[in-house]
Amino acid sequence: MKNNILRNRFTALALCFILLFAAAPLPQAFAAPEDEDTVSDTSDTGSDTESTDSDSSDTSSTTDNANVIAAASGAPTLNAEAALLISPDSGMVLYEKNADERRYPASTTKIMTALLTLENVTDLSETVTAEASDFENVTADSSNAGIKQGEQVTVEDLLYALMLPSANEAAYMLARHVGGTYENFVNMMNERAAELGCTGTHFSNPCGLHEDDHYSTARDLYKIAYEAMKDETFANIVNTVQHKMAKTNMHEERKIYTTNMLIFSSYAPYAYPYCQGIKTGHTSQAGNCFVGYAEYGDAKLYSVVMGCDDQSAEYPEIAASFTDTSALCKWGFENFISKTLVKQGDTIKQIKVDLSTDTDKLVLTAKSDLVSLVPRDLDITTLTQNPVITAPESVDAPIKAGDVIGSVTYSYNGMDYGTVELVALSDVERSPVLYYADKLSNFFQSTVFKVILIVLAVFVVLYILFNLTFGGMRRRKQRKNLRSRYENSNYQRRRRR
């Protein structure tokens, strides 16, 4: 009898341990699931061009220089040590050569100085008085606008002096006016460069005179120029050949002229009529640099060349930076054509809508026009037939017209030609009944609910086992007590009486 009782107890305890060990992994159900890989297609103009894989494109070719990547055949051989040609509409790189190599930018630095000035000064008629400190780092043979100590010049005229004759004293005057101190302004320059995604740039002064730790890259200079050209005032200044500075307390009216030889004279054989800026630069350490912008019809191009010789092989009277720029842009416009890949409002995809009684489908349309430069010999239909659509298979109501749901990217042979966001075409209202039914259904299907059920089941089994084990023991003890009382002699005597 005792052996049976002990066997039953051990069996019950063993079952309890088995259930407890089986339930031990349950806390894992509460752990946060691992992040799933997601596909993200964003059109961040100029910031994603590094990933362009031109080697996989049939239209890609390289020149004799192994560091050159071109998106079409017949690319020019440049004098520049580093170069970049890019379509701003799509961010597509048409040509690059050592585009991420750190080099001295010379006076192309002044693009950032002008950008910060326009971002921080609302009244361009404010006057700035030239101080002795503005001339301390300006050498006698460096570019200037003839501004004198004590002269009062408007911010607008200083911007023209900065960008046309590349006046170094104007750079220091603007830096002091905007930043309070030169040091603070240089900090602002580096902070703004970081905000624009520049990863190979460090500024040490506002004008670009040589310092060992003052450097940039062709790709970074494009990013800075692209941001600056969004400002209409800046775009007008850099496309100006001559400007008449207003009379000051120390000067009569005087004219200043651009150093951009591509626009300086339309009669010159090296002039490039489609050029609309932007900035030249030269020091003995940097060589000749030029950041350019050109428009031809609907097509737009930004170019950057760095480390060019003082004389062009074709036109010795000008620097090679100018002929490199015009050669790049001509090649770009001749081999690429501006095409509208998708128009605003074009239907791209339909997806499923849940939790609504109005409709079970949602139409996704292009948020804006997508215009891109594509190779002239590329059939546009091959580009638009199979776009890469990044969007969920279904969405839950409510949805407002114009909500961004996904994106579509157009590419061919590994070359991305542009991305545009997809938006909802119409409003979709949510059904309260379907919403709460879905909530209830999700709860019953959730891991938490399953865990609760398992825990309850474990408690029920344990309760049953407890009753079977310890309840039987209690009943046996009661029977034993009754038997003892019955066998007690006093009890027997009382019963006989």
| Structure tokens given for 235 | 């775009």
Q: 244 in a domain, yes or no?
A: yes
Instruction: Identify the bridge partners of residue 388 per DSSP, sorted by sequence position.
Output: 409
Do the strands 242-245 and 254-257 form a parallel or antiparallel pair, or are they unpaired? antiparallel
Asked if residue 305 and residue 252 are part of one domain, the reply reads yes
Task: Tell me which of 303, 336, 369 is where a domain ends.
Answer: 336
Spell out the residues 6+ positions from residue 420 whose beta carbon is closer than 8 angstroms to its own.
Answer: 43, 342, 366, 367, 368, 369, 370, 407, 408
**Minimum mean pLDDT among 56-65, 150-159, 412-421, 469-478: which range?**
56-65
Q: 43 in a domain, yes or no?
A: no
Asked if residue 250 and residue 126 are part of one domain, the reply reads yes
Preceding peptide of 398 cis, ω within 30°: yes
Asked if residue 330 and residue 371 are part of one domain, the reply reads no
Task: Tell me which of 304, 336, 368 is where a domain ends.
Answer: 336
Q: 115 in a domain, yes or no?
A: yes
Does residue 289 have a pLDDT over 50?
yes
Query: pLDDT, tens digit, for every residue of 313-329?
Result: 999 999 999 999 999 99
Number of domains comprising the chain: 3
Q: 484 in a domain, yes or no?
A: yes
Q: 44 in a domain, yes or no?
A: no
Q: What is the pLDDT of residue 377?
A: 84
Cα 292 to the chain's mean position, in Å? 23
Query: How far apart (Å, rounded) are the C-alpha atoms in residues 109 and 163?
Result: 10
Asked if residue 347 and residue 300 are part of one domain, the reply reads no
Asked if residue 142 and residue 236 are part of one domain, the reply reads yes
Q: What is the pLDDT of residue 25?
A: 44
Q: 54 in a domain, yes or no?
A: no
Asked if residue 121 and residue 252 are part of one domain, the reply reads yes
Nearest to 310 by CA among 291, 297, 301, 323: 323
Spell out the residues 6+ positions from residue 49 whose beta carbon is closer than 8 angstroms to its own.
Answer: 86, 91, 92, 93, 219
Return the CATH number at 113. Answer: 3.40.710.10
Contact predicate 186/112, CB 8 Å:
no
Sign of CA pseudo-dihedral 129, 134, 139, 144: negative
Burial 374-391 (b: 16+ CB within 10 A, else e): bbeebeeeebbeebeebb
* Range 427-449 average pLDDT: 65
Mean pLDDT comparison of 93-97, 139-143, 394-398, highest-scoring range: 93-97
Contact predicate 328/275, CB 8 Å:
no
At 51, the pLDDT band (50, 70, 90 cuts) reads: very low
Residue spans of beta strands (DSSP E) within 89-241: 92-97, 127-129, 152-154
Whole-angstrom distance between the N-terminal and C-terminal Cα of the chain? 35
Contact predicate 97/82, CB 8 Å:
yes
Spell out the residues 6+ positions from residue 251 whose beta carbon is closer than 8 angstroms to its own.
Answer: 146, 148, 151, 245
Q: What is the pLDDT of residue 21?
A: 47
Contact predicate 184/116, CB 8 Å:
no
Task: Tell me which of 433, 465, 484 is where a domain ends.
Answer: 433
Q: Is 396 exposed, middle or buried (0-12, 13-18, 19+ CB in 10 A)?
A: middle
Under DSSP, is residue 113 helix (H, G, I), strand (E, B) or coil?
helix
At 292, the pLDDT band (50, 70, 90 cuts) reads: very high
Q: What angle do CA 439, 444, 449 make, to 5 degrees?
A: 120
At 338, the pLDDT band (50, 70, 90 cuts) reads: confident
Asked if residue 331 and residue 349 are part of one domain, the reply reads no
Query: How far apart (Å, rounded) are the C-alpha atoms in residues 160 and 20?
Result: 81
Under DSSP, is residue 141 helix (H, G, I), strand (E, B) or coil?
coil
Mean pLDDT comparison of 283-297, 341-355, 461-475, highest-scoring range: 283-297
Asked if residue 429 and residue 476 are part of one domain, the reply reads no
Q: What is the DSSP letter of 468?
A: I
Query: How far apart (Å, rounded) are the C-alpha atoms in residues 330 and 454?
Result: 73
Query: How far apart (Å, rounded) are the C-alpha atoms in residues 440 and 446?
Result: 10
Of all residues in the chain, what percent carry a pLDDT higher than 70?
A: 77
Q: 448 in a domain, yes or no?
A: no
Q: What is the pLDDT of residue 177?
A: 98
Written as one letter, the residue type at 169 is E
Asked if residue 185 and residue 105 are part of one domain, the reply reads yes
Spell out the residues 6+ positions from residue 463 whose beta carbon is closer than 8 angstroms to its own.
Answer: none
Return the CATH number at 410. Answer: 2.60.410.10
At 61, the pLDDT band (50, 70, 90 cuts) reads: very low
Residue spans of beta strands (DSSP E) within 67-191: 68-70, 82-87, 92-97, 127-129, 152-154
Which residue range(s) make up the domain with 396? 343-433
| Structure tokens given for 184 | 């603070």
Asked if residue 314 and residue 236 are part of one domain, the reply reads yes
Among left, alpha and beta (phi > 0; psi -120 to 50; other), residue 327 is alpha
Asked if residue 248 and residue 369 are part of one domain, the reply reads no
* Range 92-118 average pLDDT: 97
Asked if residue 150 and residue 269 are part of one domain, the reply reads yes
Phi, psi of 397 (to 5 degrees): -70, 155
Q: 48 in a domain, yes or no?
A: no
| Structure tokens given for 315 | 């036109």
